[in-house]
Structures are given as C-alpha cells and as structure tokens.
Amino acid sequence: MMKKLYNLFYVMLTAVAITSCGKEFLEIDPEQQAAVNVVVVDLPTTKAAVMGTYSLLQSAAYYGRSLVILPDLMADNLYISRRNSSRYTSYDQYIT
C-alpha cells in the first residue's frame, strides 16, 4: 500500500513539475507599459509620453505622500518631533 502511495506521489510531483514552468507563463507582458517603438514615433506622441510621466509626479499622493520626504529623512536632513502623532516614524527608523 505504501509503495503505491509513493509511486502516486512521484507521478503527481512529476506532472506538476513538468506543467508548471512554461515559457508563456514566465514571460508576461506588462499591462501598463507600451513598447518604445510604438509610443515614440513622432513629436506629438513623444510629448504625450513625457507629459504623462510628469503628471504622475505632480500628485501629492504619489507613493502615499512620502516620496518627497523619504530621502531627507533617510539622509538625516530632517527630524521627527515628539508631537508628530506617529507620522513617518517608520521611515525615520531606517538604518542606512
């Protein structure tokens, strides 16, 4: 009985190992990225691509508002006061 279970286990393991790694599974095209040869074909599409990139950086909520303050906290250019109400404390405790 145990020999049959071991054989069944090895057959199942082999079947999973063979079918789990397919090339189409490993190479997934990103959904939010366009190929450069499609986007940058003339001046208007190039301007649209650059403006789209900069429009993301203008938002105050980009990366949860911490993108602007994180480098200064990690470089010790800023400090967090005791009356902070626990904002950015996890960023201030990074060890660099």
pLDDT tens per residue across span 57-94: 776 666 666 666 777 766 777 776 767 676 766 665 65
Compute how many other C-beta atoms are within 10 angstroms of the C-beta atom of residue 91.
Answer: 16
Residues listed for the chain: 96
- Which residue is listed with tokens 């602007």? 68
**Taking every pair of C-alpha atoms in the chain, what is the biggest distance, in angstroms?**
72
Distance CA 12, CA 17 (A): 9
For residue 80, what are the contacts with CB-CB under 8 A and spacing of at least 6?
73, 87, 88, 89, 92
Looking at the predicted structure, is the pLDDT value of residue 17 above 70? Answer: yes
* pLDDT tens per residue across span 59-68: 666 666 666 6
Chain CA centroid to CA 16, Å: 28
Q: Which of 4-18, 43-57, 67-81 has the lowest mean pLDDT?
A: 67-81
